[in-house]
Amino acid sequence: MKLYGYWRSSAAYRVRIALNLKGISAEQFSVHLVRDGGEQHQAPYIDLNPLELVPTLVVDDELDTEALSQSLAIIEYLDEIYPQAPLLPASALERAHVRAMALTIACEIHPLNNLRVLQYLTQTLGIDEAAKNTWYQHWVASGFAALEVLLARHSGRYSFGNTVTLADLCLVPQVYNAQRFNVDVTPYPNIMRVWAECNQLDAFADAAPERQADAI
């Protein structure tokens, strides 16, 4: 396997955690999201991932080499192919709850604050840094308020009970980003409790942005 990512990409961060939890080795390639206008916008990466986003996981199928995009799709693929340390519960109802928490982050918070959105706000619309940060903090606070309620209902040691799930793989990178943009996280004790528990595990700690080979 080959994982194309970037040290600060929260989507790539999710996949790194999944690989670590399952003990899967993947050769890692850095796609610098800022240098020279962003390497994700340049050939040959566009041929690999027409979305021009990271991560991309390249796997050797029985018949061909396949490039997979979208972090949650990649993680669920890994969970199906490598069922050890499952990241989704056994029952359909519990899986729905876990996916709801994961998607609260991956669909409601992250897309509004992704790099290309922030660049559009500043480079195209001319919004200054202070206004950009206000935008970022607003959408994180909105999503975290909902996630805090879901964790109050379902969390144990981790986001859903006492076993690491897909929800945790989304939560930890999002908290990292929130802290980076100076979001006040004190109103979210459940989120921060789960974040701290997850980071006690080597699989999460070793996936942290600052520990990656391309970290600046």
Cβ neighbours for 31, distance < 8 A, ≥ 6 positions apart = 4, 5, 6, 39, 40, 45, 54
The answer to whether the beta carbons of residues 66 and 58 sit under 8 Å apart is: yes
Based on the fold, state whether residues 76 and 98 are members of the same structural domain. Answer: no
What total number of domains does the chain contain?
A: 2
3-state SS, residue 73: helix
- Res. 174: pLDDT tops 80: yes
Mean pLDDT for 103-127 is: 97
Mean pLDDT for 1-27 is: 97
- Res. 44: pLDDT tops 80: yes
Q: Which of 85, 104, 125 is the last residue of a domain?
A: 85
Based on the fold, state whether residues 97 and 147 are members of the same structural domain. Answer: yes
- Res. 102: pLDDT tops 90: yes
Confidence of residue 60 (pLDDT cuts 50, 70, 90): confident
- The pLDDT, as a whole number, for residue 184 is 97
> What confidence tens digit (pLDDT) does each residue in 184-206 have?
999 999 999 999 999 999 999 99
Domain membership of residue 190 (yes or no) is yes
Beta bridge partners of 68: 57
Based on the fold, state whether residues 112 and 185 are members of the same structural domain. Answer: yes
Based on the fold, state whether residues 99 and 191 are members of the same structural domain. Answer: yes
Based on the fold, state whether residues 128 and 75 are members of the same structural domain. Answer: no
Based on the fold, state whether residues 50 and 132 are members of the same structural domain. Answer: no
Compute the mean pLDDT over every residue in the chain, rounded to the nearest whole number.
97
Based on the fold, state whether residues 152 and 175 are members of the same structural domain. Answer: yes
- The pLDDT, as a whole number, for residue 61 is 73
C-alpha span between 97 and 149 (Å, rounded)? 12
Q: Which of 35, 64, 85 is the last residue of a domain?
A: 85
Domain span at residue 33 reads 2-85
Instruction: Read off the CATH number of the domain in which 78 is found.
Output: 3.40.30.10
Confidence of residue 125 (pLDDT cuts 50, 70, 90): very high
Based on the fold, state whether residues 117 and 27 are members of the same structural domain. Answer: no
Confidence of residue 180 (pLDDT cuts 50, 70, 90): very high
Domain membership of residue 211 (yes or no) is no
Mean pLDDT for 13-26 is: 98
The pairs formed by 110-116 with CB atoms below 8 angstroms and a separation of 24 or more are 110/10, 110/11, 110/174, 112/139, 113/139, 113/140, 113/177, 113/181, 115/33, 115/34
Q: Which of 25, 59, 85 is the last residue of a domain?
A: 85
Based on the fold, state whether residues 99 and 79 are members of the same structural domain. Answer: no
